[in-house]
Structure 1
Amino acid sequence: MIDFYALGLYLRNWLLIIACFFRTRLMSNFAKDMEILALRSQLSITQQQIMNGKISKPQFTPAFRQLWRFLSTTPA
């Protein structure tokens, strides 16, 4: 039996990833650099909180894992 709720969440995650990709294609280089800086600082803080045990390890969605599998096998 197909779990339509899980399938809907999976498709929603992929649509969000694709929408973010197209949004970044329209951004200027300066805006992209500022977003990268902000995201790296957030990542650093989150990593510190995980290391200190303040928050639990994050759970990744199947769409997120497939995206990173695709990115890791795509030549630069």
Structure 2
Amino acid sequence: PLVKVGYRTDSSIRGRHPSGLIPVVVSNVKELEGLSPSTHIVYISGRVGLRKRLQILDEAKRRGFRVANGGE
């Protein structure tokens, strides 16, 4: 089946996570500072090692962020 005109997502929600939050890729703890837990969902970068991943995960949970690839 071919894609037809009219099936595009509304521009106000295009590119968002299914929960409605704006996805942000984070590679260190400092990148969490300018974000808001009520509007952003965190993805931990795949280039981050286990030790730093756990640090980011702990800090994100402490600040109330949802982590999309947190393993839970």
TM-score (norm 1): 0.34
TM-score (norm 2): 0.36
Larger fraction in helix: 1
Larger fraction in strand: 2
Higher relative contact order (CA 8 A, sep 6+): 1
**Larger Rg, first or second structure (1 or 2):** 1
